[in-house]
Structure 1
């Protein structure tokens, strides 16, 4: 059933997003606003000004769309891997694993599909997360996702919804290749030959995959976030290279690792839960029907 992966990816993505969004909000603010001294300062000031709801800014929009995104990632990855290896998922789980090059290529393809679908959603999420107004009192530029989209279209036209898209592609296409590769390798190491990976193996492999991916993705993630805030209260940049050169000149090489610790702390549990949900859903949805 070629669409089972899309269904499982949809549900598991929503679960992972809901779990990790508060830490993602802190990460975005650290990357786009220089006024914070570190993670704890950002958390404290966010809580003081906005309370608990401040950590969930921008979540409603991604939650509605993240199912589509994760479905696209897991579905396109699984189907691309089937095509590249000329095998099925059940065959690979029974002692015929895919080669590393096929896993990486299928992951890169899933990243490309994800970028095409999610660039506008990611832009809106970042802009909503970067607001520091207190709920119910005003001070925020955007009143919500729909208002944010309306203002972007009014100011920049449809192209404005894809601001930072090149940086997003440079981050996601290779990094989704890296995302699935350590997962597959870790699962093989932690699973006896001929057996399906258990809960521990899936969670460890998912966590490792998340940490490895974000360690590689964080520099371009910083550039992406800054480009997405360009012209919306942030510094105006002319493109990816201009953003990188100006950030390096003004803040040094360390600027490209803003949020790395938080990304890593968030990536392990979020991706462990995402992969565990995906694998369990796949087993449930593909189990033989009882007669």
Structure 2
């Protein structure tokens, strides 16, 4: 299937790359500010021992009672900086890959598979940055009680590195790479397909698509992303909250076996409700802010 997109001419100059990075950073900041409370609830559900919480509502109630509203934003500094960087990588590599295909095909419209490939390459590149950032964020998000093992992102990084070295920092890298590659392939292909459908239906140019529709298309893309790869995210979270000194799991297969034996298939979907609720506002904000930023600076 070929998707007809009306876009400005794609260029490979360094200025455009910097613009893509800046637009992605703005999108990433929007994603964190909108999505962090949902993500905190998701991680608590994914990583807590069986029976700790009865569901998302129970997490929210206990968070408010024990940690207040600020508890929903624990570990926010790391994603605010890190996710901004991650999303800037995602969008800039995706846009660069689109330019690569544009040159390779002589300006012919890209197919869905090519858009998937663009997103998959972006996801793979981003995985090496996302893995340590998410590991630190998850360690901070899952701290409970009066005594804190980590004082903040830098203290967390130092502690992990001191006990486990670089391997500890990159704990959960393989499932992260898989999640990012497949997930972002689906994510960007879905978004481009929705944009193409809108342009064909309305006759508008891409720069004239209203912000609320960009937000809606981004939200729908977020749904397809998480529906496609959520069980892998659960594996990753389990690995990244495992003990650093006396780990219970040797790798992803051990985690998958343990989850299935204890909770069956439903165990791979713990925390899915807050994640899917987060998908629309967080990813809608990401795409809308990216597109609107690019319109302003191009």
* TM value normalised by structure 1: 0.90
Question: Structure 2: any 5+ residue segments left out of the alignment?
Answer: 1-15
| Match runs of 1:95-174 below 5 Å | 97-133=109-145, 138-174=146-182
Q: Which has the higher contact order (CA 8 A, sep 6+)?
A: 2
Root-mean-square deviation (CA, aligned residues, Å) is 1.9
For 2:151 and 2:17, the matched residues in 1 are separated by 40
| Counterpart position of 1:258 | 270
The SS at the match of 1:3 is helix
Superposed structure 1 runs of 4+ greater than 3 Å apart: 232-235
| 8 Å CA contact retained: 2:164, 2:244 | no
| Match runs of 1:70-81 below 5 Å | 70-81=87-98
After superposition, give the CA deviation of every residue in 1:211-251 in whole Å (9 maximum; x if it has no partner): 11011121001000000011159971110111101110111
| 8 Å CA contact retained: 1:132, 1:140 | yes
Q: Is residue 2:296 matched to residue 1:284?
A: yes
**Aligned counterpart for 1:267 among listed residues 256, 259, 279:** 279
| Match runs of 1:196-215 below 5 Å | 196=206, 197-215=209-227
Question: Structure 1: any 5+ residue segments left out of the alignment?
Answer: 287-291
| 8 Å CA contact retained: 1:85, 1:102 | no
* TM value normalised by structure 2: 0.88
The SS at the match of 2:151 is coil
**Aligned counterpart for 1:57 among listed residues 74, 85, 88:** 74
Report the CA distance between 1:264 and its aligned residue: 1.0
Report the CA distance between 1:3 and its aligned residue: 2.2
For 1:120 and 1:281, the matched residues in 2 are separated by 28
Report the CA distance between 1:188 and its aligned residue: 1.8
| Counterpart position of 2:83 | 66
The SS at the match of 2:17 is coil
| Counterpart position of 2:11 | none
Report the CA distance between 1:85 and its aligned residue: 2.5
| 8 Å CA contact retained: 2:163, 2:244 | no
Aligned residue pair count: 277
